[in-house]
């Protein structure tokens, strides 16, 4: 059976039609408004890989800055409106955030007896899945850690909401299952989220999560059923139960229902560019 990455599986489970159009190359992925918070988080991931990657001597700030500016160029080529004041705020926030991360992480890991084994580690035979940081403890037990960065969190309840959202996370269960097979030959039932908040006050916390053997077994059953359906070229494309989320209509709504999926005769990319609320 072909194994698919967590991002592909989650996309398929959310909307099989969007997955089919995107993966077939008929239309690009949703050309909605820029998520500036996600852009900041991706830039910090680039910086972290420079810091922790073996043999990587590149300057983390230069790499993060380059990632943001190249992303802007890509947005411009796709005719996506860029708010350059928000881009400037990201570029101004990166130096202090990277410096504070560099000051905080050694003690954060040392207190737990952790050492970094790999950065952006590709898990073997897992659908090309990559763990942000693969660490080991004093007993050489593998530790799975995923980094999540928030550009700004003003209220404690928003921080708690972010922490709660990573409990029973599909992607992390995927990592646990395949890392266990690759390294331990038995299930890994614990994972960690490193939550970084850049402003208004820098914070860096590591939050532990646990899953049960039964939960991981049920995940395996669910995942294999999804992968079977995703890999079945004869399976009819099904509808999702909802075409609207918190930002508005799905960017593929017109393509699905107004043009019946006939992208070639629909005209231009404007038919998958619909107005959605801006993501902060």
Question: Considering the entire predicted model, what is its pTM?
Answer: 0.87
| Chain length of the chain | 280
C-alpha to C-alpha distance for 240 and 13, rounded to whole angstroms: 8
The answer to whether the beta carbons of residues 249 and 274 sit under 8 Å apart is yes
The CA-based diameter of the chain, rounded to the nearest angstrom, is 61
Nearest to 223 by CA among 264, 172, 163: 172
| CA distances (Å), origin 159, targets 94, 137, 186, 198 | 20, 27, 33, 12
pLDDT (tens, 9 = 90+) of the chain, 280 residues, equals 899 999 999 989 988 877 877 776 666 555 567 889 999 999 999 999 999 998 778 999 999 999 999 999 988 877 778 999 999 999 999 999 999 999 999 999 999 999 999 999 999 999 999 999 999 999 999 999 999 999 999 888 889 999 999 999 999 999 999 999 999 778 899 999 999 999 999 999 999 999 999 999 999 999 999 999 999 877 777 777 778 776 677 766 766 776 666 655 554 444 444 444 544 5
- Compute the distance between CA of residue 134 and CA of residue 116 in angstroms, rounded to an integer: 6
CA proximity to 273, closest of 252, 244, 242: 252
CA distance 119 to 222: 28
């Amino acid at each position: 059976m072909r194994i698919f990455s967590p991002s592909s599986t989650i996309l398929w489970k959310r909307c099989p039609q969007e997955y089919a159009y995107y993966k077939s190359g008929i239309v690009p992925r949703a050309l909605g408004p820029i998520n500036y918070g996600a852009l900041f988080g991706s830039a910090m991931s680039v910086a972290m890989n420079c810091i922790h990657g073996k043999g990587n001597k590149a300057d983390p700030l230069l790499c993060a800055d380059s990632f943001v500016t190249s992303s802007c160029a890509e947005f411009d080529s796709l005719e996506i409106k860029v708010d350059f004041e928000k881009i400037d705020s990201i570029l101004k926030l990166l130096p202090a955030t990277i410096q504070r991360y560099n000051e905080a992480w050694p003690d954060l890991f040392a207190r737990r007896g952790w050492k970094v084994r790999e950065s952006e580690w590709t898990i073997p035979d897992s659908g090309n899945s990559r763990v942000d940081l693969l660490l080991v403890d004093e007993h050489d037990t593998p530790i799975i850690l995923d980094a999540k960065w928030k550009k700004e969190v003003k209220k404690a309840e928003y921080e708690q909401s972010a922490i709660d959202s990573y409990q029973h996370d599909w992607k992390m269960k995927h990592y646990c299952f395949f890392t266990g097979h690759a390294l331990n030959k038995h299930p890994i039932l614990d994972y960690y989220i490193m939550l970084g908040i850049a402003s208004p006050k820098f914070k860096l916390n590591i939050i532990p999560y646990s899953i049960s053997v039964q939960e991981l077994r049920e995940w395996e059953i669910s995942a294999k059923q999804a992968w079977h359906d995703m890999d079945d070229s004869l399976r009819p494309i099904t509808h999702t139960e909802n075409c609207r989320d918190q930002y508005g209509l799905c960017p593929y709504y017109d393509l699905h229902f107004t043009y019946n999926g006939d992208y070639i005769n629909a005209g231009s990319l404007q038919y998958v560019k619909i107005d959605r609320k801006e993501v902060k």
